[in-house]
Structure formats: structure tokens, C-alpha cells
Chains A and B, each alone.
Chain A
Amino acid sequence: MVGSISGLDERMTTTTSPTPAPLSARRPAVADGSFRYLALACGLAVLAILALIAVSTTSKALPAFRHEGFRFLFSKEWNPTKTKVVSGQSVADPHFGALAFIYGTMVISAIALLIAVPVSVGMALFLTDVAPRRLRGPVSYAIDLLAAIPSVVYGLWGVVVLAPVLTRTYGSIGSATHGIPLLGTLLSGGSGRSFMTAGLILALMITPIITSLTREVFETVPRSQKEAVLALGATRWEMVRGAVLPWGRSGVIGAVMLGLGRAMGETIAAALVIGSSPQITAHLFRAGDALPAVIANEFGEAADVWRSALIGLGVLVFALTIIVNSAARALVVRTDRRMAA
């Protein structure tokens, strides 16, 4: 018996019982070693699973890469059931160009970030510096609630409630901005299911992630810094601008990139409201398509090269999210190191 352990904040004390019986030397050693190997085995299993995911998806995607070559990334023609006539016979001549989907994913992620980042940073500031103490609890519970709602529910709400309402709104915005040089092109289209709607739903979904991470970053700003700035006569906004934001800058960027990673990989909500028409267009109120959404829509009926191409799109999203998440982590680690210093 090792003695009673109660609570992390108490120092280890032996109880009033006499000295513990000596531990026998041999049995625990075997048990100890086997536990270590068990833990190691689990670690290796995790490694194996991830390696299996990476290897099997990439290998299944190879036929499509070989079929298309670089056109896979740079061609915008996605036509899996195209046929051409060769010496009187109609043969399959599929084209798998992912550019329209890459464009769609980038556009809706950009829209989502454009909306979510200011809102999230604002909310984080609200929770750390602006809100009266009583409000902090309820508002952060509300944010947790936002995060807890599954993406398919957002998709349901988006396609049944939001999209029909937005069709009319897009129409009005479109006629209002008609003729204005840049805005007029961007804000035109008129389809409830479009890049813009998908971007809006995604913004709603990534806001809680960015907010909670940003808030953690802002909470680590040393009080001394804030108080020093305030002591010099700064207003609250100047304190935020001078002490909080610069301190947390790389952490915020890291949080934003994690949100971006989430937005890029989001399948269901995007699939329901984006309109499923792959095209590269500047009109944001027109229907489009995104990488994970097209996989969800077309995989069920795909075979052979088509299936490889869709798995290839999956590998593409995988690679993009790895890049974004690694960059995010590097930034957050840097902030952590700075805080610890």
C-alpha cells in the first residue's frame, strides 16, 4: 500500500498506518514490463492505422493520377462519363480536372474566414476584456453550444430555411450593386444554393473553434502588461490594441488556420447548400462545388478510374489540411514558448 492519495493540491503523505510492506521484487517487474509493451503496442497501432489510411488512399488514387497527370490539378473539366467516338465506336473518355473543386473549396473557406475571424476575435475580446463577469459564463456556454451542434443540422437548416430566404436577398443585393465595378460582379447570381450560402454556413461552424482558441491565447496575456498600458492612461480599446492583440498575434493566426483546416474539410453542410455545379466564376451567388462535397455526392455511383479520381480528391483535401494544420501548430507552439518564457 503506497499511502493515501487525496487531491492534487495536497502533498503526498503517508497515513498513520505503519511503514508499507516491502514490494516483492519479481512479479511487479514482469507486470511493469508488460504494461509498457501494451502501451507501446497501442502507440504503434495508432501509427499503423494512420499509415494505413495514408498509404491505402494514395495507392487507390494512383490510377487517376496516372490517367490525368498534372491535368488533375490544373484542368477545370470534370466529366467522368464523357465518351468520344473512335472509329465508329463510342468509348469512354473521362476527364478528371479538379480545378473547379479546388477553387470552390478556396472560395467558401475564404468567405467563411472573412466573416468568422473578425467575429471570433471580437467574441474572444468580449469574453476576456469587455464583458462584465456575470455575462462571461452564459456567453461561453452559448459558444460551446454553437460548437456542439453537428454539421448535418447546420446543413439541414441551411438548405431548408436559409437558402430559400437568401435567394430573394441575393436578388435584391444583385440589383442594388448592378454596375459597380468589383462588387457588382462578385455579388451577383441569385441562387440560394451558392458559394456565398456555403461560406455563411461554414462561418457559423468555424466561429466557435476560432473563438475558444483565441480566447485561450488572450487569457494568457500577463495582467502586468495590461495594467501597465492602462496605467499610462490608455482607454480599454488602446489597451487591447497595444497589449492584447500584439501579444496574441501568432496564436490568433494559429487559431485561424485551424479554423481554415476545419472549413476545408467540411463535407455535409457544404454538400447540401453549395449547389453542386462545378464552375469557376466570380459570381458568388452562383452555385458551385467543393472538394469534399463532390466526393460525397458522386462516390456512390463511381467505379474504377472515377472512384480513383474521387479518392484522389480526398487525398488532395487531406494534404491541404495537413499543410494548413502544421503551419497552425507551428505558430501556436511559438506562442506557447513565448508565454512560457
Chain B
Amino acid sequence: MSVPKVRLLGPVLALGLVAAACGSSSKSTSAPTAPGATNAPSTTTVTLASATLNGSGSTFQKAFDQDQIQAFQAKHSGITINYAGGGSGKGQQDLADQVVDFAGSDAAPVKDPTKDKGGPLLYFPTVVAPITVSYKLSGVTTLTLTADTMAKIFSRQIKTWDDAAIKGDNPSASLPSTAITVVHRSDSSGTTNNFTRYLKAAAPSSWTIGAGSTVPWPTDTTAGNGSTGVAQAVKATDGAIGYVDLSDAKAAGLTFASVKNSAGKAVAPTLDAASAALVGVTVNADLTYNPLNSAAPDAYPITSPTWILVYKTQTDKAKGAALKAFLAFILTDGQTNATASDYAPLTKDLTAKALAQVDQIVVPA
């Protein structure tokens, strides 16, 4: 009797796919890159064994990482790097579980190092960028805010845009009486960590919710997942205000407020102002530092640092070599190209220290 062909097609197709999958090994079998020809003079021209690196973590640095991955993969066609995002908390946890090879995090050092299954971690600063205070308010294109006002807005002590405190910061603006919708992160976020630490440091009397990757936000607020989620939520709601990294805020077409720094100057979230926040900052031995609430006159006070975390002792030779090359790339070519991605490069001094730390990574022979 005839068996309907459709019935056979499914399993045959599936079997075919399974067979193909089992048959093929990992994808990278390409020729080594030709040294010298198209490389910028600062990069090394070592040909790397093919490898796949997986990373996850901070969405703050995701746009920068994607651009660097694209450029790096163009130079080393045998290397595949996948960066998943998901928030600083996820990156740290995935790295602790050894589900990924590197993590992006805006918060360092990691809270509980005993959880890391692979031994000690190394922190590599990559770029800095302003955390914009983005808002959507019809008819208002410029806005200045002080730390105190922001603290009150984000803790829902101020609920409408025509509040006296906001008017005080913007004497010449005409503000509508729209209700303020506060948007924050729903996931564990290094951006939240830095933003709340700034508010706590700059306006301790008004900001009592605490600081950290997650904080108990007031209940009548909205949350978005990832920097992009917050950007999207702010864009969709008239009267919304939220904290988003510069790259995502620009991509979403949001308007940013200028923030008064501790020197009393209202500074817009530009890359130059972010670089100014790095001047004079104390760098710890493990390359963690804090550029928030900088006292420099032209500094943007909510400048966020960000790091890439890797295990000091690598277990896979090809992956370890690829990691070292990728980090070196970010700290050389990546610094030159950072502004094109809307991130500010590190100071020369910090870059040199980070490059020296790359050599500390132990790769099996």
C-alpha cells in the first residue's frame, strides 16, 4: 500500500539534517590571514588558529563590541566571536558558570569571586561613555537637570514636568504639565549600578533607594529589558525619562538632558565630556576605577566605565590565543575607532596598563 509521501518527508529531512550536522565539524577551516597588507601598523600580524569565542553581558558596551567584533573578524577570518548581551549580571553569572569565554560588565569588581569556577578574573577596561538621561517631552528640546532633581524624579518625589525643581533648573524653558513616566532597567544592570551610585554620591539626601545592579524602584515606574528596552520605552511614551547609553539613545533618536556636574557646570553627554571625566581618576591595581561624579570642570558626571572580564588561566589554546588577540585589538585599533561607535577611548596611560595586563593571561602551550 502507498504510504503518503508527506509522512516520509519529515523524518527523512530530519535525518538528513542530523546526518549533516553530525558530519560537519566546527565551521572554521579558512586560510590564515595575509599578514601586513591591510592591517593597521599597530596590530600584530600573527595568524591565529581558528576558534569560536562566546561572550555575554553588558548591553551598555554591546554596540561597541559588535563594531569591534566585525572589524576583528574581517582581519582574522578563522575567528568567530558571538556577543549575546543580556546585562552585566548575566555576563558575570555566565562567566562564573563557564558558559561563556568572556563577559562584558559595567560593574567591577565582581561581588562574589568564590563563585567563579575557573579561578581568578582579570578586568580589562575598554571604553567609557556617557549614560544619557534621555527623555521624551513634546515641545522641549533642551533640558538641564541637577543631581538632586534627578534623584527626586527617579524616586517619584517629583511627578510632573512642570514641578518647581525642574523649573528651577531650567528658568527659561516652558514646561508642560505632563506626568513623568520613569523608565528603568528590569534586568540586573551595570548601567543601573553606575547611575544609582552617581545619584547616591551626588544627591545623598534625596536619593534613598540605594545603589546596585538592581534597586527597589518605586512601584509606579516602567522597566525595559536591556539598554535598548529602556530606549524603546522612552521613545514610545510622551513624558518618559530614563537612563540609556549614548549609542542606543542616538540610535533611538532620543533627546538628552544636560547634567550639572559637581563643578557647577551644565554639561551635555558628549564623548569629549566623557573623556574629561577620566582625567585624574584613581585606577586600582586590578584596573577598576570610578569616573562617576568627576570634579573636573568639563566632565560629564555620569560617565560609565565598562570592562571585559576573562579568566586569567585559559584552558583552551586556540581560544586563549584568540582572546588575547581580541583584547589587544580592542585596546589598539578599538581605541582609534571608538568614537565612530559613539564611545570615548581610554587615556593613553590606562590603555598601556591594560595592554600590559593582556600578557598576564596564561594560555596552555
Q: Given A190-B179, A277-B219, A281-B219, A301–B225 Cβ distance below 8 Å?
A: no
B interface residues, tally (CB under 8 Å): 35
| B188 / chain A contacts, CB cutoff of 8 Å | 81, 298, 301
A275 at the interface (CB under 8 A from B): yes
Which residue on B lies nearest to A281, using beta carbons? B219
Stretch at the interface among B30-38, B83-91, B124-132, B326-334: B83-91
Within 8 A of B (CB), among A265-295: 271, 275-277, 279, 281, 283, 286-287
**Contact with B181, one of A163, A190, A279, A300 (Cβ below 8 angstroms):** A190
| A184 / chain B contacts, CB cutoff of 8 Å | none
| B238 / chain A contacts, CB cutoff of 8 Å | 167-168
Q: Given A81-B214, A167-B236, A300-B87, A193–B187 Cβ distance below 8 Å?
A: no
A191 at the interface (CB under 8 A from B): yes
Check B96 against A303 for contact (C-beta < 8 Å): yes
When chains A and B are docked, how far (Å) is the Cα of A189 from the Cα of B93? 35
**Contact with A303, one of B115, B181, B236 (Cβ below 8 angstroms):** B115
**Contact with B222, one of A164, A275, A297, A300 (Cβ below 8 angstroms):** A275
Check B237 against A276 for contact (C-beta < 8 Å): no
Check A80 against B214 for contact (C-beta < 8 Å): yes
Check B236 against A164 for contact (C-beta < 8 Å): yes
| A287 / chain B contacts, CB cutoff of 8 Å | 221-223
| B1 / chain A contacts, CB cutoff of 8 Å | 5-6
- Return A177 CB to nearest CB of chain B, in Å: 16
B227 at the interface (CB under 8 A from A): no
Within 8 A of A (CB), among B36-83: 56
A159 at the interface (CB under 8 A from B): yes
| A167 / chain B contacts, CB cutoff of 8 Å | 236-238
Which residue on A lies nearest to B224, using beta carbons? A276
Check A276 against B236 for contact (C-beta < 8 Å): no
| A300 / chain B contacts, CB cutoff of 8 Å | 56, 86-87, 89-90, 93-94, 187
Q: Given A297-B186, A300-B87, A301-B93, A277–B181 Cβ distance below 8 Å?
A: no
- Count how many pairs of residues, one from A and one from B, have CB atoms less than 8 Å apart in the complex: 82
When chains A and B are docked, how far (Å) is the Cα of A290 from the Cα of B289? 37
Check B216 against A276 for contact (C-beta < 8 Å): no
Which residue on A lies nearest to B85, using beta carbons? A300
| B303 / chain A contacts, CB cutoff of 8 Å | none
B194 at the interface (CB under 8 A from A): no
Most A CB contacts (10 A, CB to CB) among B86, B93, B186, B232 go to B186
| A276 / chain B contacts, CB cutoff of 8 Å | 186, 222-225
Which residue on A lies nearest to B217, using beta carbons? A277
B270 at the interface (CB under 8 A from A): no
| B224 / chain A contacts, CB cutoff of 8 Å | 276
| A6 / chain B contacts, CB cutoff of 8 Å | 1
A97 at the interface (CB under 8 A from B): no
When chains A and B are docked, how far (Å) is the Cα of A300 from the Cα of B90? 5
Q: Given A167-B238, A191-B237, A277-B217, A303–B222 Cβ distance below 8 Å?
A: no
Dominant SS at the B interface?
mixed
B349 at the interface (CB under 8 A from A): no
Which residue on A lies nearest to B97, using beta carbons? A303
- Return A310 CB to nearest CB of chain B, in Å: 12
When chains A and B are docked, how far (Å) is the Cα of A8 from the Cα of B123? 71
A34 at the interface (CB under 8 A from B): no
A192 at the interface (CB under 8 A from B): yes
Within 8 A of B (CB), among A150-183: 159, 163-164, 167-168
| B87 / chain A contacts, CB cutoff of 8 Å | 300-301
Q: Mark B177-205, 1 if CB is under 8 A from A, else 0.
A: 00101000011100000000000000000
Q: Given A190-B181, A275-B222, A298–B187 Cβ distance below 8 Å?
A: yes
- Return B133 CB to nearest CB of chain A, in Å: 19
When chains A and B are docked, how far (Å) is the Cα of A279 from the Cα of B56? 29
Q: Given A276-B223, A277-B222, A301–B212 Cβ distance below 8 Å?
A: no
Within 8 A of B (CB), among A236-274: 271
- Return A339 CB to nearest CB of chain B, in Å: 31
Within 8 A of B (CB), among A296-339: 297-298, 300-304
Check A279 against B219 for contact (C-beta < 8 Å): yes
**Contact with A301, one of B187, B216, B217, B233 (Cβ below 8 angstroms):** B187
A220 at the interface (CB under 8 A from B): no
Which residue on B lies nearest to A160, using beta carbons? B232
B213 at the interface (CB under 8 A from A): yes
B335 at the interface (CB under 8 A from A): no
Check B89 against A277 for contact (C-beta < 8 Å): no
B149 at the interface (CB under 8 A from A): no
- Return B244 CB to nearest CB of chain A, in Å: 16
A79 at the interface (CB under 8 A from B): yes
- Return A226 CB to nearest CB of chain B, in Å: 37
- Return A20 CB to nearest CB of chain B, in Å: 16
When chains A and B are docked, how far (Å) is the Cα of A21 from the Cα of B222? 77
| A277 / chain B contacts, CB cutoff of 8 Å | 186, 217, 219, 221-223
Which residue on B lies nearest to A288, using beta carbons? B219
Which residue on B lies nearest to A300, using beta carbons? B90
When chains A and B are docked, how far (Å) is the Cα of A281 from the Cα of B214? 21
Most B CB contacts (10 A, CB to CB) among A82, A193, A281 go to A193
Which residue on A lies nearest to B226, using beta carbons? A297
| A297 / chain B contacts, CB cutoff of 8 Å | 186-187, 225
- Return B30 CB to nearest CB of chain A, in Å: 32
When chains A and B are docked, how far (Å) is the Cα of A193 from the Cα of B181? 11
B304 at the interface (CB under 8 A from A): no
Q: Given A80-B214, A81-B214, A191-B222, A301–B236 Cβ distance below 8 Å?
A: no
| B233 / chain A contacts, CB cutoff of 8 Å | 192-193
| A192 / chain B contacts, CB cutoff of 8 Å | 233, 236-237
Q: Mark A79-123, 1 if CB is under 8 A from B, else 0.
A: 111110000000000000000000000000000000000000000
State the B residues within 8 Å of A (CB): 1, 56, 86-94, 96, 115, 179, 181, 186-188, 212-214, 216-217, 219-225, 232-233, 236-238
Question: What are 14 residue pairs bridging A and B, where the CB atoms are less than 8 Å apart in the complex?
Answer: A191-B181, A191-B222, A271-B225, A276-B224, A277-B186, A283-B220, A287-B223, A297-B186, A300-B93, A301-B86, A301-B88, A301-B93, A303-B93, A303-B115
Q: What 5 A-B pairs have minimum CB-CB distances, sorted nearest first?
A: A301-B89, A276-B186, A279-B219, A300-B90, A276-B223
